């Protein structure tokens, strides 16, 4: 029985061949692409459980492919970016487009398998989550967790799965300060391999999306310097 279907995108045949070998050994079905435009077409027309996406691709690069996936009806597709060693900006850009995790070249295939397994487990857990509230209403900001709908000034705001989960985790405990470590563990899972900047990047993206429709809603996510973040609906005048 297949563990899922993976879209493997890398312009190096050697890397694709190696990862495909490990993926199939673990029980995944694998489709390959070596260029960004081909990968995008496959992602939008296919039915995949995860995409393993290199940043440096001929044609459309991996960052743009991820961005276009997130803007499509396939926006919930879990994405792991493959970046070059030392290319921190690639990782930041990947998270800004909604990537769920990343691996850095050179990597061990076992590490990649662990990250894939971890992400697939988190996605499965997320889809099975029973939200305690049907709706949360803070005036300009309304959240309907069970239907995964967010409204700012009555206008729907499109969020990636991780953005939605992060905001919900903050909203369900208003005024409580959460450290970045606590948010990583709660939203990404205790076995997440990323760094704390993942949280900062996702918070920045959340604020930007909310601010398009409501600056007030964006200011509800408050930075607590030296601590972390809190959702503060009663301090809407605070600067972020």
For residue 212, what pLDDT is reported? 92
Asked if residue 177 lies in contact with residue 227, where contact means CB atoms within 8 angstroms, the answer is yes
Architecture of domain 4-127: 3-Layer(aba) Sandwich (3.40)
Class in CATH terms, 136-231: mainly alpha
For residue 101, what pLDDT is reported? 83
For residue 238, what pLDDT is reported? 44
For residue 210, what pLDDT is reported? 94
**Quick one: what percent of the chain has pLDDT higher than 70?**
85
For residue 240, what pLDDT is reported? 41
Asked if residue 204 lies in contact with residue 198, where contact means CB atoms within 8 angstroms, the answer is no
> CATH 1.10.10.10 residue ranges in the chain?
136-231
> CATH 3.40.50.2300 residue ranges in the chain?
4-127
Spans of the chain, pLDDT less than 70: 1, 85-96, 124-133, 189-195, 235-240
């Amino acid at each position: 029985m297949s563990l899922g279907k993976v879209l493997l995108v890398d312009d190096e045949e050697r890397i694709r061949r190696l990862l495909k070998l490990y993926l199939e050994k673990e029980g995944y079905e694998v489709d390959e692409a070596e260029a960004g435009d081909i990968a995008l077409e496959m992602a939008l027309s296919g039915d995949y459980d995860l995409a393993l996406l290199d940043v440096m691709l001929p044609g459309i690069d991996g960052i743009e492919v991820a961005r276009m996936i997130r803007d499509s009806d396939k926006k919930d597709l879990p994405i792991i970016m493959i970046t070059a060693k030392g290319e921190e900006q690639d990782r930041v850009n990947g998270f800004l487009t909604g990537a769920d995790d990343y691996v850095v070249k050179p990597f061990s295939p076992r590490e990649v398998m662990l990250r894939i397994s971890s992400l697939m487990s988190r996605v499965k857990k997320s889809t099975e989550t029973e939200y305690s509230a049907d709706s949360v209403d803070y005036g300009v900001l309304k959240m309907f967790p069970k239907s995964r709908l967010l409204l700012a000034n009555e206008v729907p705001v499109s969020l990636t799965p991780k953005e939605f989960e992060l905001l919900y985790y903050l909203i369900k405990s208003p005024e409580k300060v959460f450290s970045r470590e606590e948010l990583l563990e709660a939203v990404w899972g205790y076995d997440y391999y990323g760094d704390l900047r993942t949280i900062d990047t996702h918070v920045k993206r959340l604020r930007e999306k909310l601010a398009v429709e409501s600056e007030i809603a964006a200011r509800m996510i408050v930075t607590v310097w030296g601590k972390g973040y809190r959702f503060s609906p009663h301090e809407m005048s605070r600067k972020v």
